[in-house]
A = this chain, B = another copy of it.
Amino acid sequence: MTQTIPATMRRVALAARPKGAVTPDCFRIEELPMPQPGPGQFLVRVIWLSLDPYMRGRMDESKSYAKGVEIGETMQGGAVGEVIASNHPGFAVGEFVVGPFGWATHALSDGEGVRKLDPARAPISTALGVLGMPGHTAWVGLNDIGQPRAGETLVVGAATGAVGQVVGQLAKARGLRAVGVAGGPDKCRYAVEELGFDACIDHRAAPDAKALRAQLAEACPDGVDIYYENVGGKTLEAVIPLMNVHGRIPVCGMISWYDLGGLGMGEVPGPDRLPRVWRTILVQRLKVQGFIIFDHNDRFAPFEEEVSAMIRDGRLKYRETIAEGLDAAPEAFIAMLKGGNLGKQLVRVSDDPTRGVKA
Residues of A near any B CB (own CB < 8 A): 63-65, 229, 232, 236, 241, 245, 251-254, 257, 260, 262-263, 265, 267-292, 295
Contact = CB atoms under 8 A, between A and B. Distances in A.
B63 A278 contact: no
Interface centre among A63, A270, A282, A292 (most CB of B within 10 A): A282
Contacts of A273: 268, 272-274
Copies of this polypeptide in the complex: 2
A108 to B, nearest CB: 29
A250 to B, nearest CB: 10
A280 B265 CA distance: 11
A280 B283 CA distance: 22
A272 B275 contact: no
Given A286-B289, A290-B283, A254 B278 contact: yes
A275 B288 CA distance: 14
Nearest to A233: B275
Contact of A290 (B229, B241, B276, B285): B285
A229 B289 CA distance: 15
Contacts of A289: 281, 285-288
B251 A282 contact: yes
B64 A278 contact: no
Nearest to A286: B290
A251 B245 CA distance: 14
Contacts of A263: 241, 276, 279-280, 283
6 contacts: A63-B283, A254-B275, A269-B272, A273-B273, A281-B290, A285-B295
Contact of A257 (B260, B279, B291): B279
A39 to B, nearest CB: 35
Contacts of A64: 283
A28 to B, nearest CB: 27
Contacts of A262: 279
A64 B292 CA distance: 32
A239 to B, nearest CB: 13
Contact of A265 (B276, B292, B295): B276
Contacts of A284: 65, 290
Contacts of A295: 285
Given A268-B272, A270-B269, A283-B263, A278 B65 contact: no
A285 B287 CA distance: 13
Contacts of A274: 236, 268, 272-274, 277
Contacts of A254: 275, 278-279, 282
Contacts of A282: 251-254, 290-292
